[in-house]
Amino acid sequence: MKDPLFEAIKIDGMEIKNRIYMPAMHLGMADNFKVTQRITDFYAERARGGAGAISVGYATVDDVSGNTQNIGAHLDEFIPGLSTLASAIKDNGSRAIVQLNHSGRYNFSFFLNGKQPVAPSPIASRMTREVPQELTIEGIKETIASFASAAGRVKKAGFDAVEVLSGTGYLISEFLSPLTNKREDEYGGSMENRMRFGLEVMAAIKAETGDDYPLIVRMNGNDFMKDGQGREELKEYAAALSNSGVDAICVNVGWHEARVPQIVTSVPRGVFAYLSRGIKEVVNVPVIASHRINDPEIAREMIVDGMCDMVAMGRSLIADPFLPVKTKLGREDEVVHCIGCGQGCFDNLFKLMAVECLCNPLAGREREWAIEKTNTPRKVMVIGGGAAGMSAAIAAFDKGHDVTLYEKGAYLGGQLYLAAAPPGREEFAQLAMDLDKQVEIRNIKVEFGMEVDKAVIDAEKPDAVILATGAEPLSPPIPGNDMPHVVQAWDVLENSVITGDDVVVLGGGAVGVETAMFLAEKGTLSGDAVKFLLVNKAEPPEDLYKLASTGTKNVTIIEMIDKVGKDIGKSTRWGMLQDLTRLGIKVKVGTKALEIVENGIKVEAEEIKEIKADTVVMALGSRSNNALQEILEGSNVEFKVVGDAGKIGLAINAIQQGFLAGREV
């Protein structure tokens, strides 16, 4: 039986070789709207990896629709670069598509040289806090014409199809939603009027490009906005698009300012498939499902079960460009999964940096960091089997060296398994297993239970050593820190200690927040339990919500500075802080721990007081574990220190440092 993922499909007259669609994602790699070599290399690699169709962008339609880091489609001068990109994708076996968009009120005047962003109505977003300028009828007509002209350039550049973003809180969805459209003319009021702008954009594009040029629309299945649009209204819009000549619909979820997590690791795999299913039921064109589809089996099930016709795998193909090829060859177990961490993609964009990837150090640096085989293989010892060590061993092996990886424990993965312990963070264990698999398929030698010391190094006589021995938790000199009810956060996350009913977590950084969530979830209903009780109507839904979010422990976080989660990435932090509130975790910022006592802990904020605690959890950071560095400094052996062994940092820092150390041996 042929794998449903690899059955061909047609969108209008465009045949696509498989059901894997790479959706457009802002990469932050354009240079003053122009396609760069970095963008071309990035997408060429995904085409070589076997994606059926690749959408790039979004691309701008006029001078207020985006910023200079977006790909430009609003002037003829951008056509040569677009042509180069189209060829790079098509020549490597994929269909090439450009997504057009106008950011509307989501743009910043900062990016527009002081110009005011435009929108259907002068209502600021939570993202920008800027009041946009209301578009006049003339401005609306000009914007529609700009979409059409940009689509014409896309076709002229040689792309196989054009896509329009009609969701996510950008301009077309701003017209569509009663939350942001307060107009009293023919573009506001009724649903028919609010749909008018989007439908006129699509009609203008069809008039420009011709009925035989495929037009895809990416739209929300639910905007997840209070007083916004839910499934039923958006299904009505989808049906109108289908009836108006749109050739396929790609379903995404939520506006950028919505308070429902959409792309982070806590979002269950494939959870939003119900939205594409609902739209598929009311349209007569192919439907593409999106969001957190990071595994071929999930993708396959969604197609077989009639939830969609294609699957959009965006960050999944950033993490592993060759996911399609591996799957087609029956090597699904070799796929490196996107874990939804956001560390290299969305967090970088918030910093105006180009997209990178925790799971794939080569993402966005396909040319710059490519590994070339060495002509002089060397004997390399990699000490430490965590994220940095595995990454280093893989890169050094790929370069052609004789590599042995030493791990003092019984398994590879290190702190990735600690990161996977809190609720909604389980995907970090997937990364540990994926890297372990990459070590295994290369037949890299691994020595478990090996505490490396000077004698081992002297006996092995390596040409180079990569020190990736990680970190160990800190125990600051707080009076009472040696009392029996004081434990380390790492031990809590490993489930190697028992905690009481009243728990105080000292430290409000990432580890403190994650440990508090881990403890607060104790005693709550699991997802399977909620479904069983719900479908059997055993308890009212409101009671099930309470039972799923109220645990058996009373948890308090103590943090000296004025906020918690300072070291958590922006794309993840807001959701975790939201979870702290949902779980009933007490947070005391600007509070100093003075002394741990028998029944609690003394703290000082505006006054000194005692907080009751059966257990006090130390989550006050970690320090580098690099005792071997001094030994190596006194030898003639070339060495590098990577990851937390050198400096405490994020997992993405550890993996990139390990990769570069292995590449540069």
Residue 78 sits in a domain of what CATH number? 3.20.20.70
Q: Is the pLDDT of residue 1 over 80?
A: no
Which two three-digit tokens encode residue 504?
């105080």
Residue-level pLDDT at 152? 98
Q: DSSP 3-state assignment of 163?
A: strand
φ/ψ of 558, rounded to 5, equals -110, 125
Instruction: Please say whether the beta carbons of 77 and 157 come within 8 A.
Output: no
Cα(242)–Cα(515) distance, integer angstroms:
48
Same domain, 119 and 224: yes
Note the pLDDT of residue 111. Answer: 84
369 within a domain of the structure (yes/no): no
Same domain, 432 and 490: no
**Residue 10 above 80 pLDDT?**
yes
Q: Each residue of 372-402: pLDDT tens digit?
A: 999 999 999 999 999 999 999 999 999 999 9
- Do residue 130 and residue 204 come from a single domain? yes
Residue 371 counted as domain residue: no
CA gyration radius, the chain: 27
How confident is the model at residue 350, as a pLDDT?
87
Residues 6+ apart with CB under 8 A from 16: 8, 9, 10, 52, 53, 95, 310
Helix (H, G, I), strand (E, B) or coil at 114: coil
Are 18 and 6 in contact, with CB atoms under 8 Å apart?
yes
On average, the pLDDT of the chain sits at 96
CB of 416 closer than 8 Å to CB of 337: no
Question: Which position has the token pair 């125990």?
Answer: 475
Tokens coding 451: 């505490």
CA distance 46 to 95: 11
Task: For residue 236, name the pLDDT band (cuts at 50, 70, 90).
Answer: very high
Task: Work out the average pLDDT over 285-309.
Answer: 97
The whole domain housing 655 covers 379-473+623-664
The amino acid at 189: G
pLDDT, one tens digit per residue, over 334-352 is: 999 999 999 999 888 888 8
Selection from 38, 151, 17 nearest residue 94 by Cα: 17
Look up tokens 């055993």; give the residue: 538
Structure tokens at 124: 């600021």
Same domain membership, residue 628 and residue 602: no
| Mean pLDDT, residues 322-343 | 97
Q: Which of 113-117, 162-166, 474-478 has the highest mean pLDDT?
A: 162-166
Which of the four pLDDT bands, split at 50, 70 and 90, describes residue 189? very high
The helix (H) or strand (E) run that includes residue 97 is strand 95-101
pLDDT at position 290 is: 97
- pLDDT tens digits along 248-283: 999 999 999 999 999 999 999 999 999 999 999 999
What pLDDT does 55 receive? 98
| pLDDT at res. 214 | 98
Q: What is the pTM (predicted TM-score) of this model?
A: 0.95
Among 620, 635, 653, the domain boundary falls at 620
- C-alpha atoms less than 13 angstroms from C-alpha of 565 in its C-beta half-sphere: 19
Bridge partners of residue 312, in order along the sequence: 21
**Separation of alpha carbons 219 and 632, rounded Å:** 57
Q: Does residue 299 lie within any of the structural domains?
A: yes
Three-state secondary structure call for residue 91: coil
Dig out the tokens for 557 from the structure. Answer: 């976080």
What are the φ and ψ backbone dihedral angles of 23, each rounded to 5 degrees? -75, 160
DSSP 3-state of 287: strand
Cα–Cα distance for residue pair 31/71, rounded to 1 Å = 8
Note whether 253 and 224 are within 8 A (CB): yes
Task: Please tell me whether residues 80 and 227 are part of one structural domain.
Answer: yes
Q: Over 90: is that where the pLDDT of 303 sits?
A: yes
Q: Do residues 612 and 641 both lie within one domain?
A: no
pLDDT at 112: 85
Question: Could you say which of 585, 603, 620 is where a domain stops?
Answer: 620
Sheet with 600-604: strands ordered across: 592-597, 600-604, 608-612
What pLDDT band is residue 489 in, cutting at 50, 70 and 90?
very high
- Take residue 181 and report the two structure tokens written for it: 């459209």
Same domain, 385 and 343: no
Instruction: Evaluate the CA torsion angle 73, 75, 76, 79 in order and state its sign.
Output: negative
CA gap 551, 583 in Å, rounded: 7
Euclidean distance between CA atoms 175 and 654, whole angstroms? 44
Q: Same structural domain for residues 13 and 124? A: yes
What is the spatial distance between Cα 639 and Cα 636, in angstroms, rounded to a whole number? Answer: 9
Rounded to 5°, angle at Cα 113 from 169 and 570 = 45
- Note whether 52 and 142 are same-domain residues: yes
The DSSP secondary structure of 415-444, one letter per residue, reads: HHHHHTSSTT-THHHHHHHHHHHHHHHTT-
Residues written for the chain: 665
User: Which percentage of the chain shows pLDDT scores above 70?
Assistant: 100
Closest CA to 569 of 621, 518, 617, 513: 513
Measured distance CA(322)–CA(339) in Å, rounded: 16
Task: Look up residue 30 and give its two tokens.
Answer: 């354009």
Q: Give the separation between CA 177 and CA 120, rounded to whole angstroms.
A: 10
pLDDT for position 352: 86
Helix axes 651-664, 387-399, angle to 10 degrees: 30
Which CATH number does the domain housing residue 653 bear? Answer: 3.40.50.720
Question: Residue 496 sits in a domain of what CATH number?
Answer: 3.50.50.60
The pair of structure tokens assigned to 136 is 């006049």
Query: Is the per-residue pLDDT at 531 higher than 90?
Result: yes
Q: Which two three-digit tokens encode residue 6?
A: 């690899």
Mean pLDDT of 53-57: 97
Q: How many whole angstroms separate alpha carbon 275 and alpha carbon 251?
A: 7
Q: What's the half-sphere exposure (Cβ side, CA atoms, 13 Å) at 160?
A: 23
Residue 337 lies in a domain: yes
- For residues 198-203, give the mean pLDDT: 98
Q: Does the residue 311 lie in any domain?
A: yes
Task: Kindly state whether residue 363 falls inside one of the protein's structural domains.
Answer: no
- Is 556 a residue whose pLDDT tops 90? yes
- For residue 20, the tally of other CB atoms under 10 A from its CB is 29
Mean per-residue pLDDT, 468-477: 92
Enter the tokens of residue 100. Answer: 């057009």
For residues 339 and 304, membership in a common domain is answered with yes
Q: How confident is the model at residue 428 (pLDDT cuts 50, 70, 90)?
A: very high
Alpha carbons 662 and 665: distance in angstroms, whole number: 6
Average pLDDT over residues 224-245: 96
Query: How far apart (Å, rounded) are the C-alpha atoms in residues 109 and 105?
Result: 10
What's the domain count of the chain?
3
What digits encode the pLDDT tens for the residues 599-629?
999 999 988 999 999 999 999 989 999 999 9
Identify the three-state secondary structure at position 558: strand
Which amino acid is present at 152? G
- Buried b or exposed e, range 223-245, using 16+ CB within 10 angstroms: bbbeebbebebbbebbbbbbebe
Q: Is a pLDDT exceeding 90 seen at residue 634?
A: no
174 lies in some domain: yes
Does 214 lie in the same domain as 184? yes
For residue 550 the two structure tokens come to: 């109220």
522 found inside a domain? yes
Is residue 318's pLDDT more than 80?
yes
The whole-angstrom separation of Cα 333 and Cα 336 is 8
Report residue 196's pLDDT band, with 50, 70 and 90 as the boundaries. Answer: very high
Same domain membership, residue 302 and residue 417: no
